[in-house]
Structure 1
Amino acid sequence: MTTTTTQGEVHAGSGWRANLEIIAIGLGALMAALAQTLVLPVLPTISRDIGASTTEAQWLLTSTLLVGAAAVPVIGRLADMYGRRLMLIVALGALLVGSVIDALTDDIRVMILGRAITGLSSAAIPLGISLLSAVLPEARKGSAVALVSAMLGVGGALGLPLAGIVAEHFDYHALYWIGAVGALASIALVLAVVGNPRGERPGAIDVPGIVLLVGGLVCLVLPLSQGSSWGWGSFATIGLLVASVVLLALLVVVEKRSPDPLVDMRALSNPPVAITNVASIFVGFALFASFVGTANYVQAPEATGYGFGSSVLVAGLCLMPSGILMLLLAPVAARLMAAWGPGKVLFAGGLIIAAGLVVRIVLTDSLWQIILGSTIVGAGTGIAYASLPSLINVHTPAADLAAANGINTLARSLGSTLASAVGGSLLAAITVTVGGAALPSLGGYQVLFTICAVAATLAALAGLVVSSPKLATHDREGVLEPV
């Protein structure tokens, strides 16, 4: 049985019920985050077992990225219109359906379809953040929102070692069953214990806005994910990037004139919101490059002069401490936000990420040094990620929270996609020859980590800017207080 609550209403039995709501939504967010990374280490295995080409196997990732990028802001707006709990169940249902499809097939085309459906679950994290902001008691919001926000990073840090274990001991289809079972459990918990807040935003579905946004994002994400294969100077890559600029520019024009815009350009251009979203791109960039850099770095042959020749499992385990620390630091970050404000917490998180990346640049001799640097990056990411939704919530009307958090999650994902493109091209360009094969060199990784450290520092500076009194929260109806 579920209850219907108004914005910010504290329901009876809030202590135990709040705990159950956090568990239900947190589990859904974790499963959605895991779905993004679980297949990454087993792509070669899938390609070999079902006879798919490397390009076809890569579409298992690309299809999820494309659908996720397009779906997150659209589902966020639908959630503000029709209910956040309903759309969270839809997102988790997509994870369940997509995972079951993939678990039952060996056909690469069907598997790509399943992964595309799974991409809809990317909306679970911003929906969870906005839903918790609506149903939890005021005292619980800060730590709960921080925890769910951190799941985007935790999923990557824990997904790689989990995939490594499965790759060594089980058939890769087990990964899809894990996603299906986790999604089903989360749906059941959400239906059973999560309140259904009233006060959704009325309005019509903005079809032109959806078409332009989806088209623009697809034209942006597709060349970023495939550019290294197509060639960055190819007609397809350049043509799609130009098309994305045109479509997104048209989106701005159309949305400013729409009575019920999919994306509220006035709210999106609000300086604190805009700066926070840019900072989110930088943090997502730094984190993803650190993940990929650590996993590939550790698995590189010792003959490269820096690698350890480790297995997929060992490479994943090197990232596990960072994922655990992200979880543990979520409530700490909430307390820091209460004392300092979310902008200064973002500043601290960005500097910690940069410090961890400096460790990665300087210390290269031992595996423990790699783990240390990765763990410091994870600690900073956990703190920074905790601050981002709070900054969005403080400067966004309550009726627009789901859409605003969806855009912010999209910004983080775009940062990760950009990191994959930049990192892949950079490591392919700066190489060392080992056994007749060109492999990324130590210098290539150091350049990548330097770029990531700069990105993290820029995110930290953005935190200082948004904490400036000149960008204080506007006193307008419906804007939440800091949590």
Structure 2
Amino acid sequence: MDRDDTGPGSPAHRLLVTGLVFIGMVVAVVGSLGTPLVPLVAAVNHVSVDDAQWSLTITFLVSAVATPTIGRLGDGRYRKPVLLVGLAIVAVGGLLAALPLGFATLLVGQAAQGVGLGLTPLTLTVARDALPPERARPALAILSITTVAGIGLGYPLVALIAETCGLRAAFWFGVAIAVAASLAAMVVVPSSRHRPAARLDLAGASTLGIALAGLLLAISEGGQWGWASARLLATVAVAIVMLAGWVALELHSDHPLVDVRRLRHVVVLTADVCAVFTGVGMYLLTSTVTRLVQTPTSVGYGLGASVAVAGLMLTPFSVGTVAASSVTRALIRRMPPGRVLPLAASVLLAGMVMFTLAHGTFWEIAVVMAIAGLGIGAIFAIMPGFIVQSVPAHETGSALSFNQVLRYVGYGIGSSASAAVLQAHTRPGASFPADSGYTAVGVAACLMWVLTAAASVLLPRFGDRRPGLSPTAEAIIEEEEQDIESLASVVPGDAGRPDTGRPDTADTRPGGVRPGQPR
């Protein structure tokens, strides 16, 4: 299944992309096991909802550390074994969460499943290396959208299973699909034994993990510790020092976990900054909606829905991310890809303004989630192309992994922040926050989309306008005007691509102008 062993229309490439999409969907569904189930986890394990929120946050914490580690290993000859081992860890994590061994064991299982989220950029790297250049870009877009769409699919599915068969059954389902994904990976993922072995930066991985853990712990426990308490300030200080130490380690390492020097390229910097803000805004909304919908009507503002209905309220989000494929295709035909980012952020801002002002009915929340899915799907569809066009081929896995790390950091911050804000609006002794808490979360999410739009507009005005491009990236950029094709139409073209004669003066930064396009 190597690139030069397949010709146009080869079933091998179709099978590869289909298999990678399935793996991406499984990873997304497993990653969604926490969000709609948080209130149920609290009830079954007799813990507070805020403590139960850690069943989601710990997944993102582990994924933030596992992602660059897996990405670095995936840049070498052990890509397929790393993918299989990662899926095996996900299955074991699901098993631990499914067994009735207590809340602590469930947290360990959820932490293990965070490794699965680190596999997402590895699927992107496989597609990048195994597909010919003219088909790599649409495949990357599809895979990026799939991982987000899978979250919307996973929410109602696992919620329905949990309601009909119990909480443990939802985790058993995660075990089953992780095993199925492992079988798919065995069949479709090509070997990369011909590639040089990658060295792993253990010091960088451990330092990054401590820094992120401290940051998320401070956000999660700030309400209980006190936002000006010595304990919180000390935790934040340690996290900042460790983060600074991690950057220093990466800059002086011969084999860094992440090549942070790539952030000097304005394309990479814009994509990475927007990834953080998008992740925070996304989970401020999704974590909050599932709690709001399940809040009893007797509180005065809740919808009193079951966990299954709460999951179904996330379906419009999934539909929106899928629709974003066609919308993004049309937009790229008419404007540079970089201009899609502020436009998508503006759409998301409009949706969050609606949520902030009106979230008392099912239809209002459904509309908000559809708008959110459309905007987030557009952002995540365009982001992989930004990364691919700016790094050498051998650094693609690491660069995509770091972007995914920042998404997961954003997810974790959003998850923790939503719980912290709602806790701050909960009266002592009360079981549910005041309605003003959801309004406050909406305002915070609005701020994230304002920052996303500002970053996507302002950052391209600074820095290196012309980052060094890999030969494959040169060909991929040529395809910006092509459709983001449907999954069935992702078939290979010629493995080798002739010189396109693309002018060297083309502005490849986000918001830049392609050859022949008027300013």
Q: Over residues 208-262 of structure 1, what are the superposed CA-to-partner deviations in whole Å (9 max), with x where a residue is unaligned?
A: 3233223322322333344445444444433232112111212222222222222
User: 2:491 — aligned with what?
Assistant: none
The one of 450, 457, 467 equivalent to 1:457 is: 450
Larger CA deviation: 83-92 vs 333-342: 333-342
* Structure 1 contact 160–316 (Cα < 8 Å) conserved: yes
* Structure 1 contact 267–396 (Cα < 8 Å) conserved: yes
Say which SS state the counterpart of residue 41 (structure 1) adopts: coil
What percent identity do the matched residue pairs reach?
A: 29
User: 2:269 — aligned with what?
Assistant: 274
The one of 383, 399, 402 equivalent to 1:404 is: 399
Q: Over residues 373-392 of structure 1, what are the superposed CA-to-partner deviations in whole Å (9 max), with x where a residue is unaligned?
A: 22111111111111122111
* Aligned positions of 1:43-442 closer than 5 A: 43-49=38-44, 57-197=52-192, 200=195, 204-334=199-329, 336-337=331-332, 340-430=335-425, 437=430, 439-442=432-435
Matched residue type, 1:463: S
- Structure 2 distance, partners of 1:108, 1:432, is 25
* Structure 2 contact 216–416 (Cα < 8 Å) conserved: no
Say which SS state the counterpart of residue 74 (structure 2) adopts: helix
Larger CA deviation: 65-74 vs 454-463: 454-463
Does the C-alpha gap of structure 1 residues 270 and 295 become closer, same or farther in structure 2, counting only changes over 3 Å? same
User: 1:24 — aligned with what?
Assistant: 19
- Structure 2 distance, partners of 1:335, 1:451, is 31
- Structure 1 distance, partners of 2:73, 2:147, is 22
Q: Over residues 133-171 of structure 1, what are the superposed CA-to-partner deviations in whole Å (9 max), with x where a residue is unaligned?
A: 221233433332223222443343233322321232102
Q: CA deviation at 1:121?
A: 0.9
Report the RMSD for the aligned CA atoms in angstroms: 2.9
Q: CA deviation at 1:344?
A: 1.7
* Structure 1 contact 361–446 (Cα < 8 Å) conserved: yes
* Structure 2 contact 391–399 (Cα < 8 Å) conserved: yes
Q: CA deviation at 1:339?
A: 5.1
Q: Over residues 300-340 of structure 1, what are the superposed CA-to-partner deviations in whole Å (9 max), with x where a residue is unaligned?
A: 33355433222222222121111122123235425544653
Q: Which runs of 5+ in 2 are unaligned?
A: 480-519
Matched residue type, 1:209: G
* Structure 1 contact 14–137 (Cα < 8 Å) conserved: no
Does the C-alpha gap of structure 1 residues 176 and 244 become closer, same or farther in structure 2, counting only changes over 3 Å? same
Q: CA deviation at 1:291?
A: 1.0
Q: Which runs of 5+ in 1 are unaligned?
A: none
Matched residue type, 1:163: V
Say which SS state the counterpart of residue 199 (structure 2) adopts: coil
Aligned residues: 476
* Structure 1 contact 280–415 (Cα < 8 Å) conserved: yes
* Structure 1 contact 70–214 (Cα < 8 Å) conserved: yes
Larger CA deviation: 361-370 vs 282-291: 361-370
Does the C-alpha gap of structure 1 residues 342 and 90 become closer, same or farther in structure 2, counting only changes over 3 Å? farther
* Structure 2 contact 199–255 (Cα < 8 Å) conserved: yes
Larger CA deviation: 191-200 vs 77-86: 191-200
Matched residue type, 2:33: L
Q: CA deviation at 1:85?
A: 3.3
- Structure 2 distance, partners of 1:402, 1:387, is 17
Q: Over residues 394-453 of structure 1, what are the superposed CA-to-partner deviations in whole Å (9 max), with x where a residue is unaligned?
A: 1122111111111111111111222223322322334589xx836433333223212212
- Structure 2 distance, partners of 1:366, 1:159, is 23
* Structure 1 contact 286–455 (Cα < 8 Å) conserved: yes
Matched residue type, 1:460: A
* Structure 1 contact 299–315 (Cα < 8 Å) conserved: yes
Does the C-alpha gap of structure 1 residues 136 and 170 become closer, same or farther in structure 2, counting only changes over 3 Å? same
Matched residue type, 1:68: S
- Structure 1 distance, partners of 2:459, 2:192, is 29
- Structure 1 distance, partners of 2:461, 2:407, is 23
- Structure 1 distance, partners of 2:24, 2:338, is 24
Q: CA deviation at 1:192?
A: 1.2
Matched residue type, 2:382: S
Does the C-alpha gap of structure 1 residues 429 and 251 become closer, same or farther in structure 2, counting only changes over 3 Å? closer
Q: Which has the higher contact order (CA 8 A, sep 6+)?
A: 2
Q: CA deviation at 1:461?
A: 3.2
- Structure 2 distance, partners of 1:249, 1:224, is 19
* Structure 1 contact 68–123 (Cα < 8 Å) conserved: yes
Larger CA deviation: 101-110 vs 117-126: 101-110
* Structure 1 contact 69–218 (Cα < 8 Å) conserved: no
The one of 4, 28, 31 equivalent to 1:33 is: 28
Does the C-alpha gap of structure 1 residues 360 and 170 become closer, same or farther in structure 2, counting only changes over 3 Å? same
- Structure 2 distance, partners of 1:174, 1:187, is 20
Say which SS state the counterpart of residue 313 (structure 2) adopts: helix
Does the C-alpha gap of structure 1 residues 114 and 14 become closer, same or farther in structure 2, counting only changes over 3 Å? farther
Say which SS state the counterpart of residue 40 (structure 1) adopts: coil
Q: CA deviation at 1:466?
A: 5.9
Matched residue type, 2:247: V
- Structure 1 distance, partners of 2:408, 2:245, is 22
